[in-house]
Amino acid sequence: MLPVLALGLAVLTACGASEGSAGGERACTMIGAMPGISLDVAPRPDVAGAEVTACWGADCRSWRPDLHRATAAEPQGCTGTGPDDSCSARVVETGGWYAFVDVADLREGPVEITVVLTDASGAELDRTTQTTAAQLVYPNGPDCGGGVPQTTVRV
């Protein structure tokens, strides 16, 4: 019985420990980020597709990302205000759309992005061109490294 208790205590102790936490160092997780372009489309009734073209100087490439329905949390109230009370929310569609374009060789700095929104028949609904700056993002903070360039386009 004693070996089982000792093993249990060792496991529980290990659950609270993280590598690098001794001496005030912050532990870095294995969470990563992908370089690319986030697309955020405002609510529009007939949107069925998008084409995203990114240009760095004379180098241009195009993608047709899958659009996904955008959602937001809608508060549903709380059972009280005490520490043992709980609050709830439900997810509701906003009418908008989102996508992420994986651009493995996206570089930090300015990029010109053209977004063409289409309907189910492929007819163009809207076209917009924006110049934005891809910036390094660090999923665990800059002290952990792993920074990759990302940018967001809102249409």
Tell me the C-alpha distance between 12 and 114, whole Å.
53
What are the structure tokens assigned to 30, written together? 């294995």
Q: Is 14 helix (H, G, I), strand (E, B) or coil?
A: helix
Strand order in the sheet with 36-41: 59-63, 49-56, 109-118, 124-137, 148-154, 36-41, 87-102, 68-78
Amino acid identity at 122: G
- At residue 14 the predicted structure's pLDDT band, cuts being 50, 70 and 90, is very low
Would you say 37 and 99 are in contact if contact means Cβ atoms under 8 Å apart? no
What are the structure tokens assigned to 22, written together? 């001794």
User: Is residue 49 pLDDT above 60, yes or no?
Assistant: yes
User: Is residue 3 pLDDT above 70, yes or no?
Assistant: no
- Asked whether residue 137 is domain-assigned, the answer is yes
Tell me the C-alpha distance between 99 and 42, whole Å.
12
pLDDT the model gives residue 17 = 42
- Asked whether residue 139 is domain-assigned, the answer is yes
- Asked whether residue 128 is domain-assigned, the answer is yes
**What's the angle, vertex CA 32, arms to CA 98 and CA 151, rounded to 5?**
40
- Asked whether residue 60 is domain-assigned, the answer is yes
Looking only at the bridges linking them, the beta strands covering 87-102 and 109-118 are unpaired
- Asked whether residue 75 is domain-assigned, the answer is no
pLDDT the model gives residue 4 = 40
Q: Read off the CATH number of the domain in which 40 is found.
A: 2.60.40
Would you say 13 and 7 are in contact if contact means Cβ atoms under 8 Å apart? no
- Asked whether residue 28 is domain-assigned, the answer is yes
What are the structure tokens assigned to 117, written together? 């929104």
Residue 27 CB contacts under 8 Å (≥ 6 apart), including other chains: 18, 19, 20, 21
Which residues constitute the domain of residue 30?
A: 22-70+97-154
Q: Is 147 helix (H, G, I), strand (E, B) or coil?
A: coil
The pTM of the full predicted model, rounded to 2 decimals, is 0.75
Number of domains in the chain: 1
Mean pLDDT, residues 22-33 taken together: 76
